[in-house]
Amino acid sequence: MFGFICIVALWISAFPTAAHAAAQSPCQATETVVAGDTLREIANRCNTTVTELLAANPQIRNRNLIYPGQVLTIPGVNNENPNNGNPTEANVVISPNSGPPSTVLSVTGRNFPPNTGVTVGIGEPESEPVASFDATISANGTINTQIAVPDDAQANQQFIVVIYVPGQDGARATSQAFITTSGEEDASITIAPTEGPPGTMVQLQAGGYPPNTQVEIGFGRVESEYDVIAQAVTNADGGLDRQVRVPSFAEPTDRFVFAVVPTGTSDEAFSNVFTVTGDGQSRDPQVTISPRSGPPGSNVQLAVRDFPGNTRISYGLGVPGGQLLDLF
């Protein structure tokens, strides 16, 4: 099964790639990334391309690394903007959409007059900005900047970012709303699955941490000390979504928890219990691919586990019930 699935991806790539045709997107002006999403999957369901997504979201520095909760601008779509929905009108998108006071927002403006001076401000809806600064639109009509939520913002208070060209008839656009949280949200961690042998890959999701903060991931027995097994960085919303492997030292029938702690602090939070079973030596090999469908030329990510270590493998090309061709 491993060889067959892998080469299906190569086989798809062997056919000519269809040119991307402009079509009305079924998506809103922004898409929030969920667990398992890739740029390719988002591009496919929004009738766009990865290249266009990257151009519309310059904050993405690694095309293979996006996070659940991250808000992406969908190129050519404006139907969530408070303006009339014409995709050629100026529009503004912010990220994240919620957070504590003093959160720094990434601001992207599009379709403004090129090389034009503008004012960027933040304030409550239907009110004057409480803070603003001057900036200049780029030669292609875009602007990428940052602005901070006021320090004295109250929980559940809403703010919008406005970008406008000074003057009575100047271009003007406002963002979706940012909702202020209390800043005192308790950190939380969940894991799945909750049982398995040593070596089991566990999906760990955490929230309520400071944004863009380095954290340590620990593993230990319930109500005991833990060992640090990995390090990571929270996303712009203070969340974390990644896979971690149950260490080999975990003993069967024992109960363990995962911990996530901001580096250099003692602000630890613990997951639900993971119960260790068996010795992890008799599991069947597994293969997963993502995405599971797409047009010719799609890039497919493949993950394998539980194959014999240091063993040469062969890839095959074929269709169900047909002949396989070994490549090496």
In DSSP terms, 301 is beta-bridged to 290
Out of 158, 183, 208, a domain closes at 183
Instruction: Find the domain containing 50 and state its range.
Output: 21-77
Please give the DSSP secondary-structure letter assigned to residue 241: E
CB distance 66 to 60 below 8 Å: yes
Q: Which amino acid is at 269?
A: A
* pLDDT at 22 > cutoff 50: no
The CA distance from 76 to 26, in Å, is 11
For residue 216, the domain's CATH number is 2.60.40.230
59, 95: one domain: no
Which H or E run includes 53? helix 50-56
The CA distance from 47 to 265, in Å, is 45
Residues in the chain: 328
The CA distance from 44 to 50, in Å, is 9
* pLDDT at 19 > cutoff 50: no
Out of 168, 183, 198, a domain closes at 183
Residues 6+ apart with CB under 8 A from 72: 30, 31, 32, 33, 42, 53, 56, 57, 60, 66
Nearest CA-CA partner of 161 in 176, 151, 171, 144: 176
Residue 286 falls within a domain, yes or no? Answer: no
253, 207: one domain: yes
Q: Summarize the confidence of residues 1-27 as an average pLDDT.
A: 40
Which SS3 state, helix, strand or coil, does residue 56 take?
helix
pLDDT score of 17 = 34
Q: What are 55's two structure tokens?
A: 């151009």
201, 260: one domain: yes
The CA distance from 137 to 132, in Å, is 15
Q: How do residues 238-287 score in pLDDT, each as one tens digit?
A: 889 999 999 988 888 888 999 999 988 877 889 999 999 875 444 556 77
Please give the DSSP secondary-structure letter assigned to residue 210: P
Q: Summarize the confidence of residues 141-155 as an average pLDDT.
A: 91
132, 213: one domain: no
Out of 132, 150, 183, a domain closes at 183
pLDDT score of 80 = 41
Q: How do residues 69-108 score in pLDDT, each as one tens digit?
A: 788 888 877 544 443 345 568 888 888 888 888 889 989 8
